[in-house]
A and B are shown apart, each in its own frame.
Chain A
Amino acid sequence: MIHFTMKLAGLLLLLAGWAIVLSALMLLRPSLGQNSFIVAGLAIEALGLALAARAHRPLLKEGE
């Protein structure tokens, strides 16, 4: 169950990062602020990817 929640959270973070990038494009003019929001969106996606990757690591039979 924990792994399922982590997977879901990771994928939702990926979508959230993309939403930030889209919002920056729709709401802001080309500027340093817009670029910062795009980079921030990518950073959120990196977090989501890390979480999804961690959740998908196969469980080991013994402790790591």
Chain B
Amino acid sequence: MTSLPASALSEGTVTLCAVFILLVPLAGAGVALINTGLGRSRSAAHSMMASVCVLAVAALAYFVCGFAWQGFAGGPAHAFSAGGRSWNWIAASPFFLRRLGLAGIPVPLIAGLQIFTVGLAALIPLGAGADRWRLGAICASTALFAGFTYPLFAHWVWGGGWLALLGLNCGLGHGFVDAGGSSTIHAVGGLTALAIAWILGPRRAKYSATGLPAAIPGHHGVFVLCGCLLALVGWLGLNCAGGILFAGVALPATALIIINTVLSGAAAGLTAALVTRTRFGKPDASLTANGYIGGLVASSAACAFVQPAEAVIIGIVAGALVPLSVEWFEFALRVDDPGGAVSVHAVGGIWGVLALGLFARFPDPAPGQFIAQLVGVATLLGFVLPLTYGLNWLLDRISPQRVALEGERQGMDLHELGAEAYPEFVVHTEEYLPR
């Protein structure tokens, strides 16, 4: 699906869209709080500091070259011909946001939204690298992410790229559709989180000699649950602004987007509580929070194109998928992901993309929508994951991304920042005693 023409936004739509965009940073604040709460107390200040640095680096990298490579539908782009069709693969806008007609509409709105969403996407890997990822490495990895990985895929989906044009070029439905960013923001961020977790390896003492994972609970459940509430507000802005700018949704339809987003998150949160209650005897607060965010993530792609009952179904599936996936990654694959970033954002995002193919109802139905969504998933797994893994692997070869053993023992706060988040707390070190 290509974006709407520049002249299609009325003054009222522009005003409301700007308000929606101003809500988006709350989603980032929520994710940052969740990441911090699910990490250790001795890395709490480091986690929040890293979140602030990530937002700053992402915004600057996106300003320098990110937007130039992402572009916007109808903007300048590089394309090649194959199979008698044109394949638009990267934008050719000028660097540093120059000569883009920023006084016109909706390019500045797109740039304004994207400078927040790229930061939100870049925050996601912090959850997977908690307690062991160096601040310098975080900034370098974020620069690569916001400067290249994110803009490239976002161009393909939101910038009039080849995925968006699958409908016109290949007769596959309306092309790959993702109104709110289940794939462009969350799946890309979640797959980067997986690459980071693989490259860093698990925290010391996370796995015993027999391979059983030790429970390292998050240090602040209130942070995590407050993060969910903040994220909900941010998500409402994100889905509404994305729906208007990237899916051509009319202003009255944003009411449906709001209802669907709230319902999907609610269904997912309750389902996750029920699943953990069934499995462990009591509802697990951190997994319920993860399930809730998973429901919001899954709602993003199809929020403008499904009925409320279908949004509830999307949320229920996401709420069941996320806690089971967290357990599977931790026990079966031995991926140490303290924030559950891979399960929430990658698994939830991919489910959201597929759910659009299953449930979406467009005003002008066209066959092949589910196949178009499958092509998007294949691109995420077959291109984005190797790309982001390769870039972070290279970075790790140049300068190790993982903190030294001493830093992990001391805590990231003391080791990298020189001051603890909670100086009155006693640091427990028994998990480092020889077994």
- Tell me whether A14 and B171 are in contact (CB under 8 A): no
Of the candidates A26, A38, A64, the one whose C-beta lies within 8 Å of that of B211 is A64
Q: By the criterion CB–CB under 8 Å, are B383 and A30 in contact?
A: no
A14-B381 in contact (CB<8A): yes
Q: Give residues of chain B (332-378) contacting chain A, Cβ–Cβ below 8 Å.
A: 333-335, 368, 371, 374-375, 377-378
Check: B382 CB closer than 8 A to any chain A CB. Answer: yes
Restricting to A45-64, which residues have a CB under 8 Å from any CB of B?
45, 48-49, 52-53, 56-58, 60-62, 64
Instruction: For the complex formed, measure the closest distance between the CB of B160 and the CB atoms of chain A, giving whole angstroms.
Output: 17
CB closest chain-A residue, reference B386: A11
Q: Is the interface of A mostly helix, strand, loop or mixed?
A: helix
Task: Known A45-B381, A56-B335; judge A30-B170 contact (CB<8 A).
Answer: yes
- Tell me which residues across on chain A come within 8 A of B333, comparing CB atoms: 53, 56-57
Question: Does the CB pair B371–A38 fall under 8 Å?
Answer: yes
Q: Residues of B contacting A61 with CB < 8 Å? A: 209
Q: Is B101 an interface residue (CB 8 A)?
A: no
The residue of chain B having its C-beta at the shortest distance from the C-beta of A61 within the complex is B209
Q: CB-CB contacts of B187-225 with A at 8 A, as 1s and 0s?
A: 000000000001001100001011100000000000000
B379 within 8 A of A: yes
Contact A60 B378 (CB under 8 A): no
With A18-B382, A21-B382, A41-B382 known as contacts, the answer to whether A35 contacts B371 (CB < 8 A) is yes
- C-alpha spacing A30/B170, complex, angstroms: 7
Partner of B170, one of A16, A25, A64: A25
How far, in whole Å, are A48 and B209 apart by their CA atoms in the complex? 27
Restricting to B297-349, which residues have a CB under 8 Å from any CB of A?
333-335
A residues less than 8 Å from B335 (CB atoms): 53, 56
- Are B375's CB and A25's CB within 8 A? yes
- Given known contacts A30-B172, A62-B209, A14 and B386 CB-to-CB distance under 8 angstroms: yes
Does any Cβ of A come within 8 Å of B252's Cβ?
no
| C-alpha gap A45/B375 in the complex (Å) | 12
Chain B 19-39, CB-CB to A under 8 Å as 1, else 0, gives: 000000000000000000000
Interface residues on A, range: 20 to 34
Question: Are B378 and A18 in contact (CB-based, < 8 A)?
Answer: yes
In the complex, chain B residues whose CB is within 8 Å of the CB of A19: 382
CB of A15 within 8 A of CB of B386, answer: yes
A54 and B201 CA atoms in complex are apart in Å by: 13
For A3-43 the 0/1 string (1 means CB < 8 A from B) is 00000000100111111010001110110001100110110
Residues of A within 8 A of B82 (CB): 26
Q: Which residues of B contact A30 (CB under 8 A)?
A: 170-172, 368, 371
Cα distance, A19 to B170, chains bound together (Å): 16
Residues on A with beta carbons closer than 8 Å to the beta carbon of B166: 25
For residue A45, which residues in chain B have a CB less than 8 angstroms away from its CB? 378, 381-382
Report the nearest B residue to A13, measured CB to CB: B382
Q: Is residue B390 contacting chain A, with contact meaning CB distance below 8 A?
A: yes
Report yes or no: A60 in contact with B389, Cβ–Cβ below 8 A.
no
Residue on A nearest B171 in the bound complex, by CB: A30
Closest chain A residue, CB of each to CB of B199:
A56
In the docked arrangement, what's the CA distance between A20 and B211, Å? 36
Residues of the B chain whose Cβ atoms lie less than 8 Å from the Cβ of A52? 198
In the complex, the chain A residue whose C-beta lies closest to that of B379 is A18
Verify A58–B334 contact, CB threshold 8 A: yes
CA distance A38 to B368 in the complex (A): 12
Q: Is there an interface contact between A14 and B385, defined as CB atoms closer than 8 Å?
A: yes
Q: A residues within 8 A CB of B87? A: 26
Chain A: residues with CB nearer than 8 A to chain B? 11, 14-19, 21, 25-27, 29-30, 34-35, 38-39, 41-42, 45, 48-49, 52-53, 56-58, 60-62, 64
If A26-B82, A35-B371, A38-B374 are given as contacts, then 18 extra A-B residue pairs at C-beta distance below 8 Å, sorted by A number, are A11-B389, A14-B382, A16-B382, A17-B378, A18-B379, A21-B379, A21-B382, A25-B166, A26-B83, A29-B171, A34-B371, A38-B378, A39-B374, A45-B378, A48-B382, A53-B335, A58-B201, A61-B209
Q: List 13 A-B contacts (CB under 8 A).
A: A14-B382, A15-B386, A17-B378, A18-B382, A25-B375, A26-B87, A39-B374, A45-B378, A45-B382, A58-B202, A58-B334, A60-B210, A64-B211
